[in-house]
Each structure stands twice: as structure tokens, then as C-alpha cells.
Structure 1
């Protein structure tokens, strides 16, 4: 089994055994990773890769939007922020403007860091302690 295959197996196991809190953390980390990669692609003028990475970040945000519970007040406050992030990513993609991606990235990092604090305070898992992108 190749090293890549072992890593893929590890990642699949991590996702399949993760709690809901851990999965949310993974989504935030993935979103951050893809936005950063899209910015790098933009700087390298690799517009096809930039588009793919922005679309991945947008898909993650859309998934996060689906997890919001409209019965909980904070969900109603987060939805417009997620919509704003999607808008900034779309505009950044169209205009090839890194500052628009930066704005979405700031929100993603803030949400990830806040979520990390929630996990640590509720003691849901050790995953948050090592979550850095």
C-alpha cells in the first residue's frame, strides 16, 4: 500500500469516526485551506485551479449553511454572514481580487477559532487543540 493510500485511509477513518463538533471543525479548516490555496493560485495566475479551490470553499460554506438550525437564534445571525462569505468568494473569483478572498478568509478563521473555543469549553474532544491551518 502506497503512502498516499495510507493517508487517504487515515483521512477516511478520521471523518467516519468524528463527532459532529469535529466535523464542523474539519469543514472550517477545509474552507480556510481552500481559500488560501485559491489566493496562491490567483497570485500564480493559475485561474483554473483558483476557480476549483474557490468552488470547494463555497461548497463547504453551503454545507455549513445546511447545518444551521433555524430554531436557534445564533443560526439566524450566522446565515447572513455565510451568505456574505459566498458573495465575497464569488466576486473575488470573477474579479480576480485577492482582497475579496481575504474578507471571506477572515470570517472563516474567526468562525473556526470560535468553534475551537466552544469545543474546548465543552470538552467535546481533543481535536480542537491541534486544529491549525
Structure 2
């Protein structure tokens, strides 16, 4: 249920965004939660780390569910996303930020790639 005006704004943005913008929003959320999970591990606030790393995993599951397997690249993306899930889970279990940092780097790189691809294709991300 949506309570705050900010949550209502976020919901409206998601409902009216283009597909490329939605994809980029998912990456941005995964990046934000992975960063917060890393900070939680490094500050020994393991409940914060667990909560945020689980949120990042949920977003990656959403990325998996958005794959269109009519395209060959979807199989490659699936393997990458499964690897991300594995790394985030291990990072959370072991309370070691190194694997989450690796995933963070990939997520940032992939977000930038999608931003550039949508720009080249002339599909707005706003």
C-alpha cells in the first residue's frame, strides 16, 4: 500500500515510464540497495546489510522476469543475473562485502550500457 506522497510519486513514475526507463530504474534500485548492503556489512550493521542485499536480489529477480528469450542475449543476461544473485547471497551469508562490490561494479557498468543503448536507439529514458 502506498502511504507517503513520495511513494505515490515513485509509483506514478514507474507506471508511466518507458520500457528503457523502467529497466534503468531497476538497475538504479539494485545499485542503491547493493551500496547500502555493502555499507551495512562494513559498519557491522548486519540487519541493514541483510535487508538491503535482499532488496537488491528481489530487483535482480525482476530483471530476470523481464527477459525476452526470443533474443539470444537473454540467455547470457540470465547467466549474469544468476551469478549476481549467487554473489549477493554469499556476501550476505559470509558478511563479506567483496562479492557485493563486484556485483555493484557490474550493475553500474550495465546501467551505463543501457543508458547509452537507449540514447543511440533514440528511445527516451525520461
TM-score after normalising by structure 2:
0.92
In structure 2, the partner of 1:11 is 10
Unaligned runs of 5+ in 2: none
Give the structure, 1 or 2, with the largest relative contact order (CA under 8 Å, sep 6 or more): 2
TM-score after normalising by structure 1:
0.88
In structure 2, the partner of 1:130 is none
User: Cα RMSD between the aligned structures?
Assistant: 1.3
The aligned runs of 1:82-121 (5 Å cut-off) are: 82-121=81-120
> Equivalents in 1 of 2:75, 2:37: separation in Å?
29
Whether the aligned pair in 1 keeps the contact of 2:115 and 2:125 (CA below 8 Å) is: no
In structure 2, the partner of 1:23 is 22
In structure 1, the partner of 2:79 is 80
The secondary structure found in structure 2 opposite 1:124 is coil
Measured after TM superposition, the shift of residue 126 of structure 1 is 4.4
The aligned runs of 1:24-103 (5 Å cut-off) are: 24-103=23-102
Unaligned runs of 5+ in 1: 128-133
